Amino acid sequence: MSAGPVRVLLADDQALFREALAMLLGVRDDIEVVGEAGDGAQALDRAAELRPDVVLMDLRMPVLDGVAATRRMRAEQPGVRVIVLTTFDDDEEVFAALRAGAAGYLLKDASSAQLVDAVHAAARGEAVLQPSVAAKVVAQFARLTPEPAAPRPQPLVVPLSERELEVLRLLAGGRSNREIAAALFLAEGTVKNHVTSVLGKLDARDRTQAALRARDLGLL
């Protein structure tokens, strides 16, 4: 990641959407839109030329689609982080993009604050998944992971408390801090503290990794 603003390349075949996105991000001092591309092949060329930190990649584009472009970009330019930004959240689309190496998956109905947070998180090397998409990933992982032959103790230095386990289960279902707070009748700040504690105890860098690690440990 560069020392200055996060350098972002926009890849989408809809010029009007690219222009709107460029205007939205362009007003920020911490993000710099360095270029645009109208298809996946052009995105590869522009990324090689401009060396962005993050690419916001649409999925369905002409010449080369977003999944293929992401796969090639990860192979040719591993330092570039790709966030898929699309209107589609079908399981097939989600898992194809993540298998191709996308660092994140957001829907185009995400708020501007979510988008900005995602750009910075991806630039820091974190995974970025919209809650509904995170829930799909956890559900798929659950289907693919066989149940252990016998219950295993928590291999944690400090076990999760009952309240933290409740927060973890809701977090794994893709709930936001606000939704968890409402479900458990807690203040949002209290939930944030619990989430921080859960991430620390599980040695997870983000919510998705925490959910996957908890599933692997038999906590979910």
Give tens-digit pLDDT for 181-198. Answer: 988 888 999 999 999 999
Whether 152 has a pLDDT exceeding 60, the answer reads no
94 neighbors 136 (Cβ within 8 angstroms): yes
Q: Is the full-model pTM beyond 0.85? A: no
Residue 148 pLDDT:
54
What is the pLDDT averaged over residues 28-52? 96
Q: What is the pLDDT of residues 48-106, one digit of tens each?
A: 999 999 999 999 999 999 999 999 999 999 999 999 999 988 888 888 888 899 998 99
At 151 the pLDDT is 46
Residue with tokens 């999760």: 160
Residue 155: the pLDDT is 58
- List the domains of the chain with CATH numbers: 6-129 (3.40.50.2300), 162-216 (1.10.10.10)
* Residue 213 pLDDT exceeds 50: yes
| pLDDT category of residue 146 using cuts at 50, 70 and 90 | low
> Which residues are CB-contacts of 102 (< 8 A; sequence separation ≥ 6)?
57, 70, 82, 83, 84
